[in-house]
Amino acid sequence: MYRQIFVFGQGRSGTNAVGLWVHCQCPREYRFTPKRGSRLYFQEKSTRPFVANSPMISLKEFAKLSKRNGGHLNKDYRRILFVLRDPFNFFASQMRHYRVKVRSGAKEPPRKELFHRLTRGWKTFAREAIGLTHILPEGSIYVSYNHWFADRAYRKQIIEDLDLDFTDAGINLVSKHGGGSSFDRRKYNKKAQQMNVLDRWKAFQDDRFYRGLFDQEILEMSQDLFGDPPFVI
């Protein structure tokens, strides 16, 4: 059983959901420590084991921290899970989140600039998931959010890889961190499996800006990782 488990990915990728679910599979002595970054985790002095959830850190940033703190990332002591969602639903959730923030008066970067960063980040995670790069430490576990949400056997395998006892506890919880779902907030807390998280793309499929996010590389890697696209670009 690993004393420290890192779960990280891009925001709106389901990272908070996966992190909370992993924590719910852990023995009671585990703490759940969701933060915006991972720097504090490497300075953790507590002997109490924890699940560290980071939905706001890039793969390259995490890898940099891993190398800098290599002595603390012994693969027999810590385990790393990185979460990736299919680009169609990921970008739809990001679009929805962006609209809500702008309408609320929040100061956000220009949409084109933000989504340029998001597409680059998605590609970085996808290349690592496919095996085109090997940035993360050996033994890191790729988690497909789509498969995690839809397939109980897939979730069971993740927990077994973490050397924990599978109960699937927490699968219906909506984390309060990150504000919950971009579309539903926390409306489906305790019944999260009823959310249409695999159909968020439908809200934006005719949006020109949204459709322009999908270049050939994204489409090909999405095909490799998630199968056929839900609609034709």
- Contact criterion met (CB below 8 Å) for 182 and 93: yes
CB 129 within 8 A of CB 84: yes
pLDDT digits (tens, 9 = 90+) for 12-44: 999 999 999 999 999 988 888 876 554 545 545
At 68 the pLDDT is 64
Instruction: Quick: pLDDT tens for 189-209.
Output: 999 999 999 999 999 999 999
Domain parsing of the chain, residue ranges: 4-226
CB-based contacts of 186, cutoff 8 Å, min separation 6 = 174, 176, 179, 180
Backbone angles phi, psi at 140, to 5 degrees: -65, 145
Give domain 4-226's CATH architecture.
Answer: 3-Layer(aba) Sandwich (3.40)
Instruction: Count CB neighbours of 207 within 10 A.
Output: 13
Q: Which residues contact 163 (CB under 8 A, 6 or more apart)?
A: 1, 2
